[in-house]
Structure 1
């Protein structure tokens, strides 16, 4: 397991002890964008039931305790508790490991076709499914093959371009970074002197397992704070 670092540069108002904005690269912004693609069940699972605001944690726990006999025959509690993660751009940094076609629990998704050779055009990820053409069980496993990228090996992957530096506000608004945008932000916060500002460089640890990228503690803290606060960067990195 290799470990690499994602650097985040914070600009802090020393008087108010709050983050004005962060200077961030592609990896961090890709991670923030990934948060919006998480199913709610996955969010609750990652944060744990006790850390959820409101009653969603109670709902999650009640489903855990509910017997599978109450669910539809082709479903189960795992469908709700461990929802499948949506597809994402290759190379984007995730909070939890995702081996390509993943079921949200770390296991690789499997695909099946009808056991009747004449109806292999129908595909499912549930071996209990019934073919709509011949009513046979769809339990013949097939391989999922990812098409090569049209852009070749030079494609960056992820959501945003890597040649640009991004400005991430304390409330997680994302904007392209420029001298003009920086000055505009300083004026917005009524910063008159450069001496009132402090820079702080944060290194986020990212563990890589094969081709997977996984944010650990900081990623979970950011996810939790984003659901509870309008000053996420200040809460997570300054403890305020």
Structure 2
């Protein structure tokens, strides 16, 4: 089961009031990388409470408010509003939103304990074209031999600690890379450097997602400027 929070250590320049970079674990990096695979509808649903601007929210609301009589009989609103997440995302913390299905299951119709169709859907409650019943019986997905999930799951390996830059550039961390960055940021006095450990729960995750669409200094905006 995915945990509900992850954490990372921020290295802060107190003089310029900015985050230089963060040290992060595999779990935190998995979360950031899997943002790229989130369906647009899922992103909109997460950002609605954050006062998301733009017309995509209106498009989402149009589907949400559309009367069922205008929708094809073999379609449901959930197909667009609550799309399935990619296979493997179930092992990533923070991304298992309520009412969002994962791609590890497919669904078929069922009658008297038997599958009633050789066609499946990755969206529950889809109407079967053959028997007109809803496909609500889960059929487990089995990945081919070369694509089996590892025991630890996620996307990256637990080999090293990772470095996350303020603009979300991610790389494996090393002593040399840390020193190089301090020189790049023209840090003359290490006394001005502060370390702060932060927890990334669902609320912070949504703020980070919003900031990543608007800013080049995401960590600073989310954890120092509190935007």
Give the TM-score normalised by the residue count of structure 2: 0.80
1:195 corresponds to: 191
1:144 corresponds to: 139
Residue 16, structure 1, aligned to residue 16, structure 2? yes
TM-aligned CA deviation for residue 20 of structure 1: 0.6
TM-aligned CA deviation for residue 63 of structure 1: 2.4
Aligned partners of 1:128 and 1:13: how far apart in 2?
57
Residue 167, structure 1, aligned to residue 153, structure 2? no
1:211 corresponds to: none
Superposition pairs for residues 51-200 of structure 1, below 5 Å? 51-89=51-89, 91-97=91-97, 104=100, 111-112=107-108, 121-125=118-122, 127-130=126-129, 142-145=137-140, 147=142, 155-200=151-196
Counterparts in 2 of 1:165 and 1:40: CA distance versus 1, 3 Å: same
TM-aligned CA deviation for residue 170 of structure 1: 0.6
Residue 233, structure 1, aligned to residue 225, structure 2? no
Q: Structure 1: 5+ residue runs without aligned partners?
A: 205-214
Aligned partners of 2:134 and 2:81: how far apart in 1?
24
Further displaced range: 164-173 or 148-157: 148-157
Aligned partners of 2:210 and 2:4: how far apart in 1?
23
1:221 corresponds to: 207
1:212 corresponds to: none
Aligned partners of 1:153 and 1:194: how far apart in 2?
43
Q: Structure 2: 5+ residue runs without aligned partners?
A: none
**RMSD of Structure 2 on Structure 1 (CA):** 3.5
Give the TM-score normalised by the residue count of structure 1: 0.76
Counterparts in 2 of 1:94 and 1:144: CA distance versus 1, 3 Å: farther
Give the number of equivalent residue pairs: 220
2:39 corresponds to: 39
* Residue pair 2:2, 2:94 contacting (<8 A) in 1 also: no
